[in-house]
Amino acid sequence: MKKLYTHENRIILFNIRNLLREAGIETVLRNEFAGGGIGDLPAFDTWPELWLEDDDNYERARAILHDIEHGTAGSDWYCRGCQELNHASFQLCWQCGRPMDDSDD
Ligand SMILES: [Zn+2]
């Protein structure tokens, strides 16, 4: 397996994982529950990681990541919960986890 991506915010990893799954690429989250009770490990070593199940998908997965990071599809949106700006391709707010189409009504 290849490590595809790591980020301190696991909601961002969840978003990326969902998008890759829609594209038919399965991934595995490691260190999902990192941060708390880890002891004296350096913080970076405990970031959640996204690993590819099938290394053959690596180039395609990197291309999808590139699209996500550079926002080629749709328009960015502001979370109704915390007002944070999110990538168009994200379905959950990266900061508080609220769904894009969640409503106060
Ligand atoms: Zn939010």
Residue ranges of domains in the chain, CATH in brackets: 2-74 (3.30.70)
Instruction: Tell me the pLDDT tens digit for each residue of 36-94.
Output: 555 555 555 678 899 999 999 999 999 999 887 776 667 889 999 999 999 888 889 99
Neighbours of ion ligand 1 (CB under 5 A): 79, 81-82, 84, 93, 95-96, 98
Q: What is the pTM of this model?
A: 0.71
Measure 54 CA to ligand 1 centroid, in angstroms.
Answer: 32
CB 86 within 8 A of CB 94: yes
**Cα three-residue angle 84-87-88, rounded to 5 degrees:** 120
Instruction: Tell me the pLDDT tens digit for each residue of 7-39.
Output: 888 899 999 999 999 999 999 999 876 555 555
Measure 11 CA to ligand 1 centroid, in angstroms.
Answer: 11
Report how far residue 44's alpha carbon sits from residue 82's, in angstroms, rounded to the nearest whole number. Answer: 26
55-60, long-range: CB < 8 A, 24+ apart: 55/1, 55/2, 57/25, 58/2, 58/4, 60/23, 60/25
Measure 85 CA to ligand 1 centroid, in angstroms.
Answer: 8
Report how far residue 84's alpha carbon sits from residue 77's, in angstroms, rounded to the nearest whole number. Answer: 8
Across the strands, what pairs with 27?
52
Measure 97 CA to ligand 1 centroid, in angstroms.
Answer: 6
Measure 100 CA to ligand 1 centroid, in angstroms.
Answer: 9
Across the strands, what pairs with 99?
92
